[in-house]
A and B are shown apart, each in its own frame.
Chain A
Amino acid sequence: MNAKEQWIDNTMASLDAAGRAVINPGFRENILKGIGNSETGNRKPGIGNSEFGIRKPGIGIGNSEFGYGTIKRSMIWKIAAVILLLISLNVFTMVYYSKSSGSGQSATKTVASEYFSYIDNYNL
């Protein structure tokens, strides 16, 4: 085995006998104190089950046992992109067919008459 492969093997094995990192014992006391505060009412009102405060949904690992609540930001962007795509397709289709049908109506008027036809009712 050459030097490079040997080094890679050794590096991959460098975590093999790793001991567990130990948290500062004082930290445990702080956590318990923090929990004590939340038990006595210093807790934000929750969405859904208010008894247990605000809970973030499980993210990223399969089925979350602790439920769902807020919508992920990436999902909002996806929904917005889909809506934008649908509107664009709709506009493109209207403009294309208005031109090909030879109605003489401009693209702007076509879109306006489809989306804002209620304006005609006001004789503007």
Chain B
Amino acid sequence: MSEENFILRLKQGNQTAYGELLNMFSDKVFNTALGLLQNKEDAEDITQEVFTEVFQSVGQFRQQSKLSTWIYRIAVTKSLELIRSRDRDKRKGILLSLFGREDQIKLASTEAFYHPGISLENKEMAAVLFKAIRRLPLNQRIAFTLNKLENLSYAELAEVMNVSVSSVESLLFRAKQKLRELLGNYYEQNLK
């Protein structure tokens, strides 16, 4: 079945097609959200929101990109919205603490994140790496996470992020540079 026929069935509201879409993409969306948000509950919430958006908006999908690209974009956008909202809460928390309203502070978790797909021998190092990834600028974080966890190629990343392939190369290069610097600092402070 071609992608065009599949999209047509989705636009017609075919429930079987919805089920197939979920089977094809739910793990990809969940893994993407989990990599970006580093929290299982948040990733599940975002996954639900993504598919709600997909099913509500598929009628307006103009097929200028592949279905997978479109779904990845929605997943990344929704994850970014949550990250930005948490950052706003953090800034509000800092302001509230100045006025002694610590009881109203809801800070993002700073706990170590253990990705379920990482092997046991790499879990601790991966947790340190994920902590460093949180400190990357958002675009670098997206590029690095999708490249490493979803194995998206440079061309696929460029489509999802709507940038050129050379921009993706640059983002990944800078992300790796920054991560190496952060890991170096971590090593000096904790492991030396």
A71 within 8 A of B: no
Chain A contact surface mostly: loop
- Chain B positions within 8 Å of A49 at CB level: 60
- Chain B positions within 8 Å of A61 at CB level: 73, 76-77, 80, 142, 160-162
Tell me whether A17 and B119 are in contact (CB under 8 A). yes
Chain B contact surface mostly: helix
Tell me whether A60 and B138 are in contact (CB under 8 A). yes
Tell me whether B30 and A8 are in contact (CB under 8 A). no
Tell me whether A15 and B26 are in contact (CB under 8 A). no
Query: Which residue of B has the minimal Cβ distance to A46?
Result: B56
Report A's interface with B, CB cutoff 8 A. Answer: 4, 7-8, 10-12, 14-24, 27-28, 30-32, 34-36, 38-39, 43, 49, 51-53, 55-56, 58-67
Number of B interface residues in the complex (CB < 8 A): 63
- Chain B positions within 8 Å of A65 at CB level: 61-62, 64-65, 70, 73
Minimum CB–CB distance from B35 to chain A (whole Å) comes to 8
Q: Spot the interface stretch: B1-9, B46-54, B98-106.
A: B46-54
Known A7-B191, A8-B180, A12-B129; judge A21-B117 contact (CB<8 A): yes
Tell me whether A67 and B148 are in contact (CB under 8 A). no
Within 8 A of A (CB), among B169-192: 176, 179-180, 183-184, 187-188, 191-192
Contact of B31 among A20, A30, A64 (CB under 8 A): A20
